[in-house]
Structure 1
Amino acid sequence: WERFLPALIVIVLLVPFQSAAEEYVFRGWLLQAVGAHVRNPVWGIVIGAALFASVHGYSWMGLADVFVFGAVMGWLAVRTGGLEAAIGLHVMNNMLAFGMSAAAGDLEDALIQSKVVVPWQAIVGVVVQLGAYAFGVLYLAKKRSLSTVSG
């Protein structure tokens, strides 16, 4: 506990801000900046996801994982007209990743991304997770008649 508790406190206090900042940049500002020049939101989603993946130092499979995550979060931002769903999942994803590393006693693994090996099977899990999350978000948005500014 003497190493885990301080790490957990830092994770709980900082990860929401870190995750939200990435969402504001890649799914908020960048998506709108590209959208100001190109009508089809797919370009903003793809460019944002590619740049999002590029700031992570993972292996190729890890980058594919992060790209898919960024693309789905961009699509949800367009579909819901907001960043709430993307921020929520990003915060939970990062808290889980950092929290598990801290619990294992090696937070360095989560911080030095080039050390993280992502097997191709993880991509399947990510696609299932993101698909279920996106379906749930869109179902709730429709059920509650969420009005969006992006269509």
Structure 2
Amino acid sequence: MYIEQLKNKKYSLGSYIPIPLGFILLMFFNFLMSDGVDTNEVIQQTISMIGVNLTFVVLVGPLAFGLLLVLFWVKFVQGQTLRSLTTSRAKVDWKRIFFSFFLWGTITTAMILVLYYTQPENFVWNFKPEKFFIFLILAIILVPMQTSFEEYLFRAHMMQGIGLATNSRLIPLIVTSVLFGLMHIANPEVGKIGYIIMVYYIGTGFFLGIMTLMDEGLELALGFHAANNLVGALLLTADWTAFQTNSIFKDLSEPSAGFDVLTPVFVIFPILLFIFSKVYNWKNWKEKLTGKLIVTNEIDTVANDSKL
């Protein structure tokens, strides 16, 4: 199983602390520095100086680099295999990654197009071929690295470390989900919508954490997160979001706490979990989400490995 598989190895719990602690301290420092500062205004000033695409690189690049740091640490400092960091299966299931990516990418595209055709007054055509295709290349490279960094940090490195330290599944689910949400507290969306949007960020953390624990691997979360950020960035931008890009459409509407915050967490995400549970035959929800770690002599590393 995803966390249990490491109980048979002699990993130092202390080796799980430096990267999460360093990131939390950096996150706290950034929050203090941004307190009282209009983050969106800073982004707009940066865009006016170096342009949209370079601003995107400046914002996303450090997180993309963070992926390399986490993978290097796990592989060469902890001595843990990248396979065991990613999944409990005998090998990484790329079909799961692509299924999750294309499922959520298709749903996201459909929702944006429906809004565009039903509420055309809220959108403008933002497509500028030269700038868009440069951004497309940058996004295809950097966004999956950025989202994978967040998944490998929270749902892999931290979840496994906290799970081993507490012999629990529920504690790492709660801690990593809350920290994942708090990571976004300095985003300009918070200033625009208010702290109610933390329900969305923390709720997304719980959704990705539940997905990881139930599926005994990170693959579905990797695919979903990459699709969420990449497809969204390519299709739609707004002047009040963290990702202000050379996308195809621009949203002129005012965000609402109901549709933009509550609907995904309490309607869409539960439906997605239901779909995944049927496709991959998830069972024993209570034990997998709240139970203690159970270690047997032979851990079935291909449990729930249903194929599409």
Q: TM-score under structure 2 normalisation?
A: 0.41
Structure with the greater alpha carbon radius of gyration? 2
- Aligned AA (1:123): V
Query: Where in structure 2 are there 5+ consecutive unaligned residues?
Result: 1-128, 245-253, 283-301
- Aligned AA (2:279): L
- Aligned AA (1:139): K
What number of residue pairs does the alignment pair up? 139
Q: Within 1, Cα distance between the matches of 2:262 and 2:182? A: 21
Q: Does 1:98 align with 2:236?
A: no
Q: Within 2, Cα distance between the matches of 1:14 and 1:21? A: 10
Q: CA deviation at 1:92?
A: 0.8
Q: CA deviation at 1:101?
A: 4.0
Q: Within 1, Cα distance between the matches of 2:270 and 2:138? A: 30
Secondary structure of 2:166's partner?
coil
Cross-structure match for 1:67: 202
Cross-structure match for 1:26: 154
Q: Does 1:147 align with 2:303?
A: yes
**1:27 touches 1:77 (CA, 8 Å); kept in 2?**
yes
Query: Where in structure 1 are there 5+ consecutive unaligned residues?
Result: none
- Aligned AA (2:221): A
Cross-structure match for 2:256: 119
- Aligned AA (1:14): L
Cross-structure match for 1:16: 144
Q: CA deviation at 1:134?
A: 1.2
Q: Within 2, Cα distance between the matches of 1:109 and 1:6? A: 20
Q: CA deviation at 1:43?
A: 1.2
Secondary structure of 1:36's partner?
helix
Q: Within 1, Cα distance between the matches of 2:131 and 2:196? A: 30
Q: CA deviation at 1:51?
A: 1.2
Q: CA deviation at 1:41?
A: 1.3
Of Structure 1 and Structure 2, which has the larger fraction of its residues in helix? 1
Deviations 1:17-45 (A, max 9, x none): 11111101100111111111223312111
Q: Within 1, Cα distance between the matches of 2:182 and 2:257? A: 18
Deviations 1:103-143 (A, max 9, x none): x7x6x83337xxxx853212232122211221111111118
The alignment's C-alpha RMSD in Å is 2.3
Structure 1 runs (4+) deviating above 6 angstroms are none
CA 1:27 to 1:47, structure 2 compared with 1: closer, same or farther past 3 Å? same
Q: TM-score under structure 1 normalisation?
A: 0.80
**1:20 touches 1:87 (CA, 8 Å); kept in 2?**
yes
Deviations 1:71-92 (A, max 9, x none): 1111111111100111111011
Q: Within 2, Cα distance between the matches of 1:118 and 1:72? A: 22
